[in-house]
Amino acid sequence: MTHHDVPAFHVGSESFAEGQTVPPAQRSGRMRAGGQDESPQLSWSGAPAETRGYAVTMFDPDAPGRGGFWHWAVLDIPADVTSLPAGAGAEGGKLLPAGALQLKNDGGFRGYVGAAPPPGHGPHRYVVTVHALDVAASGLDERTSPASLESKLSRHTVGRATLTGIYERH
């Protein structure tokens, strides 16, 4: 995945820190990894002044198969929102800001699916990205696939913040 160069800003989480192990809450129960499929708490700051909205994604580039595994994708987060509570990625999105839209993850439902690397596959990286966009509405709808999101958003991306958690199942 190639990114055009845009300024970085800061994202942090009460759920896990950069480079730390993804905790049980953010692992998958649906995919039998002993977790709760609770999306992480996120807070971000320092986005470019021209930001009009955000998108948030979580991606595992180390998943087997082509193109990695998309765990979460949220579009159309308003520019005045700079945090999401833990669990905002639940199906139905009751904790998401008004107007925000969750795409179908690679687990097949609209919402967050937790970390669940194949046992014995080694450590996987779970990359949470906050995309700062120069549009309030992405113009995309829930039929958009997360895999096509980066290319569709790239011309509107004015900043990017990332947070990476690690998880390995033995």
Q: Which residues contact residue 2 at a Cβ distance below 8 angstroms, ignoring those fewer than 6 apart?
A: none
pTM here?
0.96
Residue 3 pLDDT exceeds 80: no
Tokens of 108: 């097949």
Looking at residue 94, its amino acid is: K
Residue 4 pLDDT exceeds 80: no
Summarize pLDDT for 17-41 with one digit per residue, the tens. 999 999 999 999 999 999 999 999 9
Summarize pLDDT for 90-141 with one digit per residue, the tens. 999 999 999 999 999 999 999 999 999 999 999 999 999 999 999 999 999 9
Beta strands in the chain (DSSP E): 10-12, 42-45, 53-60, 69-78, 83-84, 101-102, 124-133, 157-167
